[in-house]
Amino acid sequence: MVAMPSPAENPAPHAPEHDTERAAAHAAEQSPQRTAGDAAARAVEVLTVPTDAGPGRLLVSPAAEPRAVLWLGHGAGGGAGSRDLLALAAALPRHGVTVVRHEQPWVVAGKRIAPRPAALDAAWLATAPAVGELAAGLPLAVGGRSAGARVACRTAGAVDAVAVVCLAFPLHPPGRPERTRAEELLRPGVPVLVVQGTRDPFGSAEEIVAAVPRAVAGAVPGAVPGAPAVEVVPVEGADHGLKVGRTAPLDQEEAGRLVAEAVHGFLRRTLTAG
């Protein structure tokens, strides 16, 4: 394993609005992990990849007989150890999907504040050749949670992704619905899945269905004529960290299973249709 770099000094702060959004994302993503995540961590292969912004890191959870690869990015509030990313890394390999979680250089360096979107995109794309070697000709789906989902949407075409998986897509900054990012969900040109909490202050599942043309709540069977539909799966009672409250109709373990089953079903349908 390549030695990790020592933490760098913190960069200059962003504008207050960006700081507020990142603080909200950080709070949502700093939740205790569960046993499924612990199992994923034990089965991981760690690769360090150089980029112009410093080394990034790939955490690979391999399938025994892989049929596809899912490359996932993390949010602006934390690294690749969030509950939902770990749940996918634990669940999908048994279904033939190798899961590759990407840690951005700013996280590897120990910094607390994410850089601007263009820098996130550049570091992600710099890692694409290494992910391509892991995929070895298999279908590649991309995705992530929160800011990582935005990166995946913006760059899906550049990496020839066959599908995009968005967990807790930040449709808008908290309290600023007029600053919509709906266009990013239509940019990939391939099928898109959004798994979204109904209490997400960055945009609920209902808001995404209302804001995104061709968005559909529930499963989209097979290919959709014209521009691919955006499939939205709501997680009842869940916030931006996909954490459910005490009054939610499902508990945290059930929510984790819902996320994993939604992603698995989406990938199965997409790969079959392709």
> Which of the residue ranges 10-19, 54-63, 130-139, 239-248 would you say has the lowest mean pLDDT?
10-19
Mean pLDDT of 210-220: 69
User: Whose CA is closest to 98, among 144, 65, 50, 132?
Assistant: 65
Report the alpha-carbon distance of residue 243 to residue 199 in Å, rounded. 10
Residue 159 has pLDDT above 50, yes or no: yes
Domain that holds residue 109: 16-273
Asked, for residue 66, whether it belongs to a domain, the answer is yes
Smallest CA-to-CA distance from 69 within 47, 102, 103, 99 is with: 99
Give the DSSP H or E segment for 271. Answer: helix 252-273
Spatial CA neighbour of 73 closest among 60, 85, 88: 85
Which CATH number covers residue 241? 3.40.50.1820
Give me the percent of the chain exceeding a pLDDT of 90.
Answer: 71
In this prediction, residue 119 carries a pLDDT of 98
Answer whether residue 177 is part of any domain: yes
Of the listed ranges 13-17, 102-106, 159-163, 193-197, the one predicted with least confidence: 13-17
Residue 97 placed within a domain: yes
CA angle 95, 273, 70 (to 5 degrees): 40
Within-domain flag for 9: no
- Any domain includes 158: yes
Q: Is residue 3 part of a domain?
A: no
Whether 2 is in a domain gets the answer no
Sign of the CA dihedral 200, 73, 29, 98?
positive
Q: How confident is the model at residue 221 (pLDDT cuts 50, 70, 90)?
A: very low
Distance CA 1, CA 7 (A): 18
Q: Mean of the pLDDT values across residues 203-227?
A: 69
Q: How many structural domains are present in the chain?
A: 1
For residues 231-253, average pLDDT: 91
For range 160-166, the mean pLDDT: 97
User: Tens digit of pLDDT for each residue in 22-73?
Assistant: 545 655 555 444 444 445 545 799 999 999 999 999 999 999 999 999 999 9
Classify residue 266: in a domain, yes or no.
yes
